[in-house]
Structure 1
Amino acid sequence: MQSQQRLLVVLAHPDDESFLCGGTIAKMSERGVHITLLCATKGEMGRRMGNPILTSRETLPGVRVRELKSACKELGINDLRFLHVRDKTIEFESFDLLEERIVKVIREVQPNALVTFHEKYGGHPDHCAIGRAAEFAFLKSGDPDFYPDPVFPAFKVQSLYFVLWHAFYDEWLKENGLSRITRVNIAGTLQKKIRALRSHRSQTLAVPELWGNQKPNLPFLKESEYFIKGNLPTIIEETDLFQTIESRG
């Protein structure tokens, strides 16, 4: 059995990783966790192209891929992969095919934990669609009869988490309470998160406060990031994505 902990992050667009869970990713990386990011699209339909404009619609996909690679270096992401789905069309892709492709990555990477979007609280059709597919892949990857593969056998991921964007925190709390929330303190890696966000220049130059000399007072740059437990006991209060895994031995 592999000794190094592994985290698979399945998201929709370049910059999702930095905005939503960059501090947590950096914190896990500092602890020696091997991190794979599976990004569904290249963000080619993004509305922002810099401020002032630094790219065109034709060159934007290449720009955003380069920006994502730079952000991955800042956050300590070891392995970057793409599904090459067209931006803003994930919900129209074959669900079975998406699920199968994510299952194959799970079986190859063999992560201990998987982070993705919540189907309801994703906030964007692409987010919700890739989150739904990733959740089903999480459930099916350990079934040897589901898309059997002679190279990469069935593998069951131990823990599933959904990113909880600040804009949906109060809504989740009102409907579900605190029992399924994992809060990760990212005070020690907040600067890495800021540098990763700055790597996404085409998207963040339009946020002048992010580029100032003072500490940005932005809602997505607080000292905590939040996750919804997808499959863990709600009686356990978690402050770390691997806390429950390690307590189980």
Structure 2
Amino acid sequence: MQSQHRLLVVLAHPDDESFLCGGTIAKMSERGVHITLLCATKGEMGRRMGNPIITTREALPKLRVEELKRACEELGISDLRFLNVRDKTIEFESFDLLAERIVKVIREVQPDALVTFHGKYGGHPDHCAIGRAAEFAFLKSGDPNFYPDQVFSAFKVQSLYFVLWHAFYDEWIKENGMSSITRVNIAGTLQKKIRALRSHRSQTLAVSELWGNQNPSLPFLKKSECFIKGNSPTNIEETDFFQMIERLG
């Protein structure tokens, strides 16, 4: 069954989408959800350049963009956009300007749901910074007095979710409980996630288990991906981003 839903994913670096929510993105795409990925940087400060080295520091940004495009093809992301912020500097960018730029994308794309990083549990300064800006944009995009636009009018996104990185899973559950998360079963799209990760060769060639095993066992390759509910009721179990929207009609 084809869905008319639209999903906006706002992340910091090429490969964030595959590591953190690739299986869910692929699953939503298979359902016919239109997916826009807004990537803040081109990953030019990435620690790795292949193993063995396959690029130079100067050529890395262009390569990572090409790798991300291939990953998007694997996951079914039909709309890829960049904010062109320099890698490892998002936290130093003007918060208001970042929020304004994300609001403009929201008003153009008109997504039903938005996925981004949690401002505290992002695990990286870039992640937390873009997550805070995206959350603020989520709150303000429906306000016609917030950066009025003659082309795209105010639009309120219905649902907000934050990726829950496996490194913070136990801490989050201990503090907030299981009812605060949405768990998406990705068993059917796990292989797409693995292929998307392999598209990011410059960053993943060093992860030998990912390449040397048909069914690699890694902490970011479980059969489910978890997301912190940004505004969904915690007393109702969810298994995807659109259940509550559909329930409310």
Q: TM-score, structure 2 length as denominator? A: 0.98
Match of residue 15 from structure 1? 15
Q: Which amino acid aligns with 1:209?
A: E
Name the residue aligned to 2:205. 205
Structure 1: runs of 5+ lacking an equivalent:
none
1:160 aligns with 2:160: yes
CA distance in 1, matches of 2:33, 2:178: 27
Distance 2:165 2:108 in 1: 29
1:122 equivalenced with 2:129 (yes/no): no
Query: Aligned partner of 1:139: which letter?
Result: L
Residue 98 in structure 1 maps to residue 98 in structure 2: yes
Q: Distance in 1 between matches of 2:191 and 2:167?
A: 21
Deviation at 1:126, TM superposition (A): 0.1
Equivalence for 2:188: 188
Q: Show the counterpart of 1:109.
A: 109
Deviation for aligned residue 1:172: 0.2
Q: One-letter code of the match for 2:84?
A: H
Alpha-carbon shift at residue 213 of structure 1 (Å): 3.6
SS of alignment partner, residue 38 of structure 1 = strand
Superposition pairs for residues 37-56 of structure 1, below 5 Å?
A: 37-56=37-56
Q: CA deviation at 1:189?
A: 0.1
1:86 corresponding residue in structure 2: 86
One-letter identity of the residue aligned with 1:170:
D
For residue 8 of structure 1, give the secondary structure of its aligned residue in structure 2: strand
Q: 2:6 matched to which residue of 1?
A: 6
SS at match of 1:220: coil
SS of structure 1 residue aligned to 2:52: coil
Alignment-mate amino acid for residue 9 of structure 1: V
Letter in 1 for 2:201: R
SS in 2 for 1:27: helix
Structure 1 residue 181 displacement after superposition: 0.4
In 2, Cα distance between equivalents of 1:243 and 1:49: 40
CA distances 1:105-163 after superposition (whole Å, capped 9, x unpaired): 00000000000000010000000000000000000000000000011000000000000
Q: Distance in 2 between matches of 1:213 and 1:194?
A: 11
Could you say which residue in structure 1 is the equivalent of 2:74? 74
Q: Kindly report structure 1 stretches of 4+ aligned residues shifted beyond 6 Å.
A: none
Does 2:236 align with 1:246?
no
Residue 218 of structure 1 corresponds to 218
Aligned AA for 2:56?
Answer: S
Q: TM-score, normalised by structure 1?
A: 0.98
Q: Distance in 2 between matches of 1:205 and 1:123?
A: 22
Post-superposition CA distance 1:185-217 (Å, at most 9, x none) = 000000000000000000000001101243101
Q: Counterparts of 1:100 and 1:181 in 2: how far apart (Å)?
A: 28
SS in structure 2 at match of 1:221: coil
Look up the SS of the partner of 2:220 in the other structure.
Answer: helix
Give me the whole-angstrom Cα distance separating, in 1, the residues matched to 2:136 and 2:179: 23
Please name the residue that 2:57 is paired with: 57
Q: CA RMSD in A?
A: 0.7
Provide the C-alpha distance between the structure 2 equivalents of 1:45 and 1:220, rounded to a whole number of angstroms.
22
Q: Which SS does the other structure have where 1:179 is aligned?
A: helix
**Cross-structure match for 2:150:** 150
- Residue 175 of structure 1 deviates from its aligned partner by 1.0
Partner of 1:106, secondary structure, is helix
